[in-house]
């Protein structure tokens, strides 16, 4: 959603982090000071707040705001579509899908069980969305300046199509987490406590992983041609704040989320074992890491990397963790490629830190790995 900040006028001293931070602070007022009585507007504000990836020492995290949004949605009956009045189904389906997407992406990043049930396929909700394009008053379009290009009929249609594809991909993410992982208390030795998080299931049917892969392949196979990410052959007018730049960012995020979902499958191993964990599918992990690195590098070259949503930090961490696994191997060529991947991930993380301070985790992991490796070489 912050891809739209590409249109925000800024001085030379302004940074993307300041822009997103200002949006967060203004949105938080709607909830914390109870200045908004409408529950649906409260949910919209809370969903915006889940997108903040700033300094968590001063703010509550995305999971907290999502939990509050869910509680509000449950209270007003938003989660039970069978009770929706006919005259508000389109609006409520939009709200339901926003909750659905954030539930899945936050679960992927924070390793927590999804809140919304996996057996609820979103197509029944998507079918209730209105395809009617909105017409805006000329005064509104004039005040929006360059950003008004996002409200043309073409842009509205493209936005709706990309959003629906994100909802369908989120279903795949939830199914993968449901079938391959389970909630468990993970001990934290340094704190003498434990954390409730997702952990790979000890016993998985041999057919589950292929089914998860098939689910993702089916999604990308039937993906609309206009939603497929391709780097442009002609450089985009990024400084001119084009709608094409915004849509390219959204297409790239769709593809990156697909790759991260594949990485989740590969991390759980290649075979079923009744006891212990199966070894990761390293060949699959290397392929997805290579593609993630490629897309991030392309966006970086176009000056669009910092406009990815905060979930891109989660996706980057999958690439970092896969490369760290390769560093533990004995093959020299594999270890060398893993180190090159880590350098690329660190560079991408440094750019993402302009908007999302949590990207510092990726920087620390890559630098720690490099320091350890150099220490081994010196001895």
Structural domain includes residue 316:
yes
Structural domain includes residue 66:
no
Structural domain includes residue 106:
no
For residue 200, the 8-state DSSP code is E
Matching residue, tokens 């979103």: 122
Average pLDDT rounded to a whole number, residues 7-17: 54
In 334-352, which positions are buried (b, 16+ CB within 10 angstroms) versus exposed (e)?
bbebbbebbebbbbbbbbb
Structural domain includes residue 341:
yes
Q: Which of 142, 154, 166 is nearest to 227 (CA)?
A: 166
Structural domain includes residue 378:
yes
> What was the pLDDT predicted at 204?
83
- Assign 355 a pLDDT band (cuts: 50, 70, 90): confident
Q: Count CA atoms within 13 Å of residue 152 on its CB side.
A: 11
**9 against 306, higher pLDDT:** 306
Structural domain includes residue 208:
no
Contact indicator for 146, 7 with CB cutoff of 8 Å: yes
Average pLDDT across the chain, whole number: 81
Best-predicted range by mean pLDDT (36-45, 219-228, 348-357): 219-228
Q: Enter the pTM of the model.
A: 0.86
- Assign 19 a pLDDT band (cuts: 50, 70, 90): low
Provide DSSP, 143-199.
HHGGGGGGGSHHHHHHHHHHHHHHHHHHHHHHHHHHHHEEEEEEEEGGGTEEEEEEE
- Assign 34 a pLDDT band (cuts: 50, 70, 90): low
What's the domain count of the chain?
A: 1
Q: Which domain holds residue 370?
A: 268-379
233-240: Cβ within 8 A, 24+ apart: 235/302, 236/302, 236/304, 238/6, 238/302, 238/303, 238/304
Tens digits of residue pLDDT in 310-341: 889 889 999 998 898 888 877 888 888 888 88
Residue 296 clears pLDDT 90, i.e. is over it:
yes
> What was the pLDDT predicted at 12?
46
Structural domain includes residue 35:
no
Structural domain includes residue 333:
yes
> What was the pLDDT predicted at 14?
56
Q: Take residue 368 and report the two structure tokens written for it.
A: 């720690």
State the alpha helices, DSSP H only, in the chain: 16-32, 39-49, 62-75, 89-110, 123-126, 138-144, 153-180, 208-221, 243-267, 282-301, 311-327, 332-352, 360-378
Residue 274 clears pLDDT 80, i.e. is over it:
no
**82 against 138, higher pLDDT:** 138
């Amino acid at each position: 959603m912050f891809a739209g900040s590409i249109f925000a006028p800024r001085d030379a001293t302004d940074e993307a982090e300041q822009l997103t931070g200002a949006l967060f602070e203004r949105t938080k007022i709607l909830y914390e000071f109870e200045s908004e009585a409408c529950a649906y507007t409260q949910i919209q504000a809370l969903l915006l707040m889940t997108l903040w990836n700033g300094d968590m020492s001063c703010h509550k995290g995305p999971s907290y705001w999502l939990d509050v949004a869910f509680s509000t949605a449950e209270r007003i009956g938003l989660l039970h579509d069978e009770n929706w009045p006919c005259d508000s189904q389109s609006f409520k389906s939009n709200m339901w899908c926003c909750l659905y997407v954030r539930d899945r992406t936050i679960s992927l990043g924070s390793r927590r069980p999804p809140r919304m049930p996996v057996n609820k396929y979103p197509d029944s909700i998507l079918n209730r969305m209105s395809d009617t394009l909105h017409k805006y008053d000329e005064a509104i379009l004039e005040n929006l300046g360059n950003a008004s290009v996002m409200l043309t009929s073409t842009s509205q249609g493209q936005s709706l199509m990309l959003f629906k594809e994100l909802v369908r991909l989120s279903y795949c993410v939830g199914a993968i987490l449901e079938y391959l992982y389970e909630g468990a208390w993970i001990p934290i030795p340094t704190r003498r406590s434990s954390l409730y998080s997702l952990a790979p299931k000890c016993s998985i049917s041999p057919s589950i992983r292929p089914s998860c892969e098939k689910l993702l392949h089916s999604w990308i196979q039937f993906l609309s041609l206009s939603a497929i990410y391709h780097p442009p052959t002609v450089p985009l007018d990024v400084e001119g704040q084009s709608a094409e730049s915004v849509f390219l960012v959204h297409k790239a995020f769709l593809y990156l989320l697909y790759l991260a979902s594949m990485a989740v499958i590969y991390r759980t191993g290649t075979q079923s074992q009744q006891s212990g964990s199966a070894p990761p599918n390293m060949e699959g992990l290397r392929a997805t890491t290579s593609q993630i690195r490629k897309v991030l590098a392309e966006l970086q070259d176009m000056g669009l990397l910092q406009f990815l949503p905060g979930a891109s930090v989660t996706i980057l961490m999958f690439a970092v963790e896969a490369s760290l696994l390769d560093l533990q191997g004995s093959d020299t060529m594999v270890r060398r490629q893993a180190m090159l991947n880590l350098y690329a991930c660190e560079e991408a993380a440094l750019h993402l830190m302009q908007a999302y301070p949590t990207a510092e985790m990726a920087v620390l992991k890559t630098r720690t790995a490099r320091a350890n490796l150099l220490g081994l070489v010196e001895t």
